[in-house]
Amino acid sequence: MYRILVINPGSTSTKIAIFEDEKEVFSRTLRHSVEELSVYKNIFDQYEFRKSVILGALEENGYPVNGFSAIVGRGGLLRPIPGGTYEVDEVMLEELRHAKQGEHASNLGAILAHELAQLAGVKAYIVDPVVVDEMNNIARISGHPEIQRKSIFHALNQKAVARKAALEIGKTYEDVNLIVVHMGGGISIGAHMKGKVIDVNNALDGDGPFTPERSGTLPLTQLIDLCFSGKYTKEWVLKRIKGNGGLVAYLGTNSAIDVQKKIDDNDKYAELVYRSMAYQIAKWIGKTAVALRGNVDAIVLTGGLAYDSKYMVRWIKEYVSFIAPIIVYPGGDEEKALALGVLRILKGQEKPKIYHEEAERWQKTTCL
Domain assignments of the chain as residue spans, ordered by start: 3-132+335-366, 154-332
Q: Give how far Cα 1 sits from Cα of 36, 48, 200, 249, 340, Å.
A: 37, 30, 36, 50, 13
pLDDT of residue 130: 84
Q: Which of 240, 251, 239, 243 is nearest to 277 (CA)?
A: 251
Q: Mean pLDDT over all residues of the chain?
A: 94
Q: How far apart are the first and last CA of the chain?
A: 46
Residue 183 pLDDT > 70: yes
For residue range 108-142, list pLDDT tens digits in order.
999 999 999 999 999 999 999 988 999 999 999 99
Q: Report yes or no: 74 and 126 within 8 Å, Cβ to Cβ.
A: yes
Q: What is the mean pLDDT of residues 103-107?
A: 89
Q: Do domains 3-132+335-366 and 154-332 have the same CATH topology?
A: yes
For residue range 2-33, list pLDDT tens digits in order.
999 999 998 888 999 999 999 999 999 999 98
Q: Report yes or no: 325 and 299 within 8 Å, Cβ to Cβ.
A: yes
For residue range 265-300, list pLDDT tens digits in order.
999 999 999 999 999 999 999 999 999 999 999 999
Residue 367 pLDDT > 70: no
pLDDT of residue 333: 85
Considering the chain, what percentage of its residues have pLDDT values greater than 70? 99
Q: Which of 291, 359, 279 is nearest to 320 (CA)?
A: 279
pLDDT of residue 192: 98
pLDDT of residue 104: 86
Phi, psi of 303 (to 5 degrees): 90, 175
Which pTM was predicted? Answer: 0.89
pLDDT of residue 53: 96
Which residues have CB under 8 Å from 278's CB, separation 6+? 311, 312, 315, 316, 319
Measure the CA–CA gap between 5 and 71, rounded to whole angstroms. 5
Q: Report yes or no: 176 and 297 within 8 Å, Cβ to Cβ.
A: yes
pLDDT of residue 368: 62
For residue range 306-355, list pLDDT tens digits in order.
999 999 999 999 999 999 999 999 998 899 999 999 999 999 999 999 99
Query: What pLDDT band is residue 57 in, cutting at 50, 70 and 90?
Result: very high
Neighbours of 221 (CB within 10 A): 8
* 3-132+335-366: CATH, from 3.60.40.10, 1.20.120.80, 2.40.30.330, 3.30.420.40: 3.30.420.40
Domain 154-332, classified CATH 3.30.420.40, yes or no: yes
Cα-trace Rg, the chain: 21
Query: What pLDDT band is residue 262 in, cutting at 50, 70 and 90?
Result: very high
Contacts 24+ apart (CB under 8 A), 18-23: 18/63, 18/68, 19/335, 19/336, 19/339, 19/343, 21/343, 22/336, 22/339, 22/340, 22/343
Considering the chain, what percentage of its residues have pLDDT values greater than 90? 86
